[in-house]
Chain A
Amino acid sequence: MIEASELTKTFRDKQRGEVRAVDAVSFRVEVGQIYGLLGANGAGKTTVLRMLATLLRPTSGRATVAGHDVVTGASAVRAKVGFLAASTALYGRLTARETLTYFGRLNGLGDAEIAARTARLAEELDMQDFLDRRCEQFSTGMKQKTSIARTLIHDPSVMIFDEPTLGLDLMAARTIVKFVRECRGRGKAVIYSTHIMSEVEKLCDVIGIIHDGRLLAEGTLAQLRQRYGERELEEIFVKAVGANAPRGASA
């Protein structure tokens, strides 16, 4: 599971001075649960997820992932996490199989185990036809499947998805959504960031609305509907953001 408490990240920007990209964000994601982090571009979603994946160090506050602290146990956290983002691309000159072998080895797996897992993932994701072709020749859908297999090769207990459907066509996006649901089915703790309302409605057990680095509202879809008196998530989002007067122009 994931636990973040008062997680804060500030950046120094030449023009804007000190920028609080994430401001005291706290939340919990349980095992077998999908937590949706909903926010506009620049709201701080990616920064939160990068801190959870130990790619960035929190300025203050703390977070644990699968029982390990993201600062003191960064390596242990990464071994338990599968991270999939629009920005996590594949090596074009490696084949899908070589990609899985590479990341399997980096996760400390033996070659026999990697071969067995590759065979299983290829079957589950229907990848057999292109397993030995180079990624640079892949369609978007093939790339997505290979990326998914890459995040699963070490069987992580926590999955972090950072706008994974960004720029994908409908069919490729559906593959991702189906896969995220399966992760929950397999008892993984999942955190999913997006700005697409329909994905959140379809997928998420708990929704956190993030704006300007702050977590403004949190709850199940039913709880949020009740609190804001709206049925549509879009209306709820606008009300939640509007009620908390922005500190400046929305980023």
Chain B
Amino acid sequence: MNFKNIFTIYTKELRDMLRDRRTLISMVVIPTLAMPALFAVVMAVAFRIQSEVATTLPTIMILGGDDSATMATALRAHAGYRVLPTSDNWRQLIADKQLRAVVAVPAGFEAAVQRGESAEIKIYYYEGEVRSDRAVREVRGFINGERAKIVAARLAAHGLGPAAIRPIEIRAENVAPPEKVGGNLIGGIIPYFFLLMAFSGAMYPAMDLTAGEKERGTMATLLCSPVGRIDIVLGKFFMILTASLGTVTFSLLSLGATFSVGGAFVAQRIAGTSPGTSTRAADKFAEMTSLDPGGLLAVVVMVLPMVVLFAAVLFAISLFAKSFKEAQSYVSPLVVVIVLPGVIGLLPGVELNVRLALVPILNVSLASKELVSGVWHWDLLALIFASTCVYAALALGAAVKMFNREDVIFRM
């Protein structure tokens, strides 16, 4: 191994790559723009729906209630929805989303209540539809209020207070720090995003520096020089690593900027759109996006050996290909290999243990989820870091071995 030669090859590859528009796009432009664009689109859509739901009242229809005038009038007078005139095709109207809910007051409702019996009010709605859900919430809220009044009156008639029917109260309080909650919500996505960026950042240079060179005929030129094969591999490998880390860095900066600028904007919007109820929503959003900065740094550290592993694997695979196009057909399906463990890591309930700590990608994904939420399992973290380093070293060793195989290098 000759460090001077490795450096010579590395700097040449770096210069070559920086002059290539395609590398700059994959290394700088995409990672910088991807996150803000994604954030902006998701937020814009979410806001649109939310403000629409908040500003336009859902429509309901009331069936029956002719012999229960007090209830029917109060139901009509409630401000949380707009009551449409009764019609027979209400089922169709709900299906067509022109009507959000129907409240059916049974015959003899008020008489039954007067007798001290129980009567059933039915709500028909469209499950999973945001506006329908809101209509149901409003109706339920109103009926619950009415029920509480009736219960209080009945209890009073027997000389009892509200505690008589609620001897036990339950109150659940969250003690997890805000980062923990935020970490669970978006902590899984962030490291996953890094891994994807690291992979996509390494993909193009790995193919270009191996199969691309074979295709263009510059590989033979390079092999004629007295430089050792291992120096060539390492020089090129460091370049792939640089591109990958560059992509991660740009996506990290972009992510930070998006969350600090976009997050403040969103909190402001939430507070501004519907004052009163929104302080909780704004708090919730702040909670969702608050991450432990130390944990975030640790995620970057955990992702590092993973980046080395990606670079080495991509190098070895692309080297085998005769042309850039062939390399693409080998490498593209690998994205699924990255996506799958990442998605498993995002599933709720999948928790880090010794066995999962040895599964590449999944281990880093799971550990990162815990790290950004402020949980540090030092023993497992060490195991993950060490095992990923071992995998990376093995992959790099395989790449060097491949480079020494003339049937690979001269595979035409």
With A75-B226, A79-B226, A93-B19 in contact, do A150 and B8 touch (Cβ < 8 Å)? no
Main secondary structure of the interface of A (DSSP, over half): mixed
| Cβ-neighbour of A88 out of B4, B16, B224 (below 8 A) | B224
Q: Are B226 and A94 in contact (CB under 8 A)?
A: no
Cβ of A137 < 8 Å from any Cβ of B? Answer: no
Are B228 and A81 neighbours in the complex by a CB distance under 8 Å?
no
Tell me whether A107 and B225 are in contact in the complex, defined as CB-CB below 8 angstroms, given that A85-B220, A87-B220, A89-B218 are known contacts.
yes
A46-86 vs B: 1/0 string, CB under 8 Å?
Answer: 00001001011100000000000000000110110101010
Please measure, in the bound complex, the distance between the C-alpha atom of A92 and the C-alpha atom of B21, giving whole angstroms.
Answer: 13
B16→A106 contact, CB < 8 A: no
A:193-251 near B, CB below 8 Å: none
Inter-chain contact total with CB atoms closer than 8 Å: 70
Shortest C-beta distance, A27 to chain B (Å), equals 21
B15 touches A89 (CB 8 A): no
Q: Which of B1-38 contact A (CB under 8 A)?
A: 4-5, 8-9, 12, 15-16, 19-20
Quick one: given A55-B406, A91-B16, A102-B8, are A107 and B226 in contact (CB under 8 Å)? yes
Query: A108 in the interface, Cβ–Cβ < 8 Å?
Result: yes
A94 B16 Cβ-Cβ under 8 A: yes
What is the CA–CA distance of A83 and B5 in the complex, to the nearest angstrom?
Answer: 20
B226 and A90 contacting across the interface, CB-CB below 8 Å:
no
Q: Is the interface of B mostly helix, strand, loop or mixed?
A: helix
Report chain B residues within 8 Å CB of A107.
225-226
By a CB distance below 8 angstroms, the chain A residues around B221 are: 88-90, 103, 150
> Residue among A11, A56, A103 with the most chain B CB within 10 A?
A103
A56 / chain B contacts, CB cutoff of 8 Å: 406, 410
Binary interface encoding of chain B residues 188-227 relative to chain A, with 1 for a CB under 8 A from any of its CBs, else 0:
0000000000000000000000000000111011111111
State which of A78, A92, A105, A108 has its C-beta within 8 Å of the C-beta of B224: A78
Check A98/B226 contact, CB under 8 A, given A55-B410, A57-B406, A88-B217. Answer: no
Contact with A along B227-238 (1 / 0, CB 8 A): 110000000000
Given the complex of chains A and B, what is the CA–CA distance between A82 and B325 in angstroms?
Answer: 31
Contacts of B223 in A (CB 8 A): 55
The 10 sampled A-B contact pairs (Cβ below 8 Å) are A55-B224, A55-B409, A57-B406, A75-B228, A83-B220, A83-B224, A89-B221, A91-B16, A94-B15, A106-B222
